[in-house]
Amino acid sequence: MDIRPQFDLVIENGTLLDPASGRHGRFDLAVAGERIVAVEPNLSTRPAAERIDASGQLVIPGMIDTHAHVYRHVTGRFGLDPDLVGVRSGVTTLVDQGGPSCMTIGGFRHYVSEPARTRTLCYISCYLVGGLEGHLYPDLYGPIGVNAEHTIRVAGENLDLVKGIKAHAEIGGQSRWGLEVIKIGKRISRETGLPLYIHLGQLWPTADSAPIPDADELIRELVPIMEPGDILAHPFTRHPGGFVSESGEIHPILLEAVRERGLKVDVGHGSHFSFDVARKVLEAGIEPFTLGADMHGYNVQIPDADGTGSDDVRKANPFFGVAPFNLTIAMTELLHLGLPLERVVAMVTSNAARLLRLEDELGSLAPGRIADVSVLKVESGRFKLSDNSGVEVVSDKLVRPVFCLRAGERFDADSPFIPAAIAA
């Protein structure tokens, strides 16, 4: 009798939640090599080389963070270690938003994406400098700093990594160049067949020689440039120039764009998240399609060599003052705001895979798929959350990563970027 293990690994006794397949309940999941080979109510009698008891835990498709900044060194302190943001935080796929450009994509491929244990993709910057030093030098980001032809060519040569085009629509840039860069970005997007991802919310100070810009006018000019499938980031931003007008109402043109014209919305948590703004946007009927964390070196505590962290750069840039967060804290915040667990999980799994046009590869726990799996603990209690405006709330749930499988290989969630739970 052949008693060799049929499976390399079985994750058993967990609550499996897979929005792509509609499964939600008690299922065991088996892995052989790099693939999921079985999802059944009970695999306890099937031979396996290793078994993991996931009792009391949530087993979901490998989480996809659609807004990361992991181009270390080239983007200065801005870029984080991809595996600390990725697999060691329970996240199996990252999308660097605008770090690499047509000039620096080679370095991103060979020194970031290829060495990382996390699948690391990108939205290429439409600016020649990409995310150099975290966008701290606004004069580098005008029309003169864009080469559409070069970016179109390089994006087309790197479609295994490049999944979209990144640009910024914010009033500091508008005061300098209007929306000319966005128009060029849309041309790049159209000619590459890739979506355009737009940062909303003020990033740069108004130019000294410019009158005070009209944030509402920026939105009215921006939306007609965009096309179905393009993405608006930072819907919950506390900064001017976002979804909420200066009068405190949701822009009607944004409501129409998301509901009728097929624009997508990515949370892009980062230094932007506001509970008050989030409530207004959600109450207006705008629900994010994806949930990017937008962690970077100016909004998380970066461990120094001695294991401590330095806040010197953040203190010098008050724009970036934030509360502790990561992708699962952002999920917790959306649960606190009333969104169902199934829809929040879809944002970081099946929806994100669709955004990347990788839904045939990622975002599902169906047998035959790559064994990218995230295991979470949804704790009950009283937990203090705080946003980037200083508002504090108490949540009765807290989502924490436990471990993940990336192509069948296990990584425990031991990243120093995972915030400690704060009991209320």
pLDDT tens by residue, 29-62:
999 999 999 999 999 999 999 999 999 999 999 9
Name the β-bridge partners of 30.
10, 38
377 close to 341: Cβ distance less than 8 angstroms? no
Amino acid at 298: Y
**Rounded Cα gap, residues 19 and 324, in angstroms:** 28
285 close to 257: Cβ distance less than 8 angstroms? no
Farthest-apart Cα atoms in the chain, separation: 83
81 close to 112: Cβ distance less than 8 angstroms? no
Mean pLDDT of 158-176: 93
Tokens of 243: 């979804």
Name the β-bridge partners of 10.
30, 51
The per-residue pLDDT for range 64-123, each reduced to its tens digit, is 999 999 999 999 889 999 999 999 999 999 999 999 999 999 999 999 999 999 999 999
How many percent of the chain have pLDDT more than 90? 74
How many percent of the chain have pLDDT more than 70? 94
**Rounded Cα gap, residues 8 and 31, in angstroms:** 6
Q: Where are the beta strands (DSSP E) in 98-137?
A: 119-125
Q: Is pLDDT at 314 greater than 50 in this prediction?
A: no
Q: What are phi and psi of 327, to 5 degrees?
A: -65, -40
pLDDT top residue among 414 and 271: 414
The per-residue pLDDT for range 196-222, each reduced to its tens digit, is 999 998 888 888 776 777 888 889 999
Output the pLDDT for position 408: 98
Beta carbons within 10 angstroms of residue 287's beta carbon: 14
Range of lowest pLDDT (9-18, 108-117, 164-173, 408-417): 164-173
Q: Known binder of ligand: residue 294? A: yes
88 close to 414: Cβ distance less than 8 angstroms? yes
Q: What mean pLDDT value characterizes the chain?
A: 91
Q: Known binder of ligand: residue 396? A: no
CA angle 364, 366, 369 (to 5 degrees): 80
CATH topology of domain 62-355: TIM Barrel (3.20.20)
Nearest alpha-carbon partner for 185 in 129, 226, 232: 226
Q: Known binder of ligand: residue 336? A: no
158 close to 113: Cβ distance less than 8 angstroms? no
Work out the burial of residue 56: count CB atoms within 10 Å of its CB; fewer than 13 is exposed, 13-18 middle, 19 or more buried. exposed
**Rounded Cα gap, residues 227 and 28, in angstroms:** 42
1 band by pLDDT with thresholds 50, 70 and 90: very low
pTM: 0.94
Q: Kind and range of the H or E element at 378?
A: strand 373-386
Mean pLDDT of 244-272: 90
Tokens of 93: 């796929």
End-to-end Cα separation, the chain, in angstroms: 57
Output the pLDDT for position 348: 98
Work out the burial of residue 390: count CB atoms within 10 Å of its CB; fewer than 13 is exposed, 13-18 middle, 19 or more buried. exposed
Checking phi first, is residue 147 left (phi over 0); if not, alpha (psi -120 to 50) or beta? beta
Q: Known binder of ligand: residue 67? A: yes
**Rounded Cα gap, residues 251 and 247, in angstroms:** 10
Tokens of 250: 């949701």
Q: Kind and range of the H or E element at 12?
A: strand 7-18
**Rounded Cα gap, residues 63 and 373, in angstroms:** 7
199 close to 164: Cβ distance less than 8 angstroms? no
Number of H helices and number of E strands within the chain? 12, 15
Output the pLDDT for position 422: 81
The per-residue pLDDT for range 327-371, each reduced to its tens digit, is 999 999 999 999 999 999 999 999 999 999 999 999 999 999 999
CATH topology of domain 7-60+369-412: Urease, subunit C; domain 1 (2.30.40)
Q: Output DSSP code: residue 210.
A: S
49 close to 7: Cβ distance less than 8 angstroms? yes
Q: Known binder of ligand: residue 234? A: yes
Spans of all domains in the chain: 7-60+369-412, 62-355
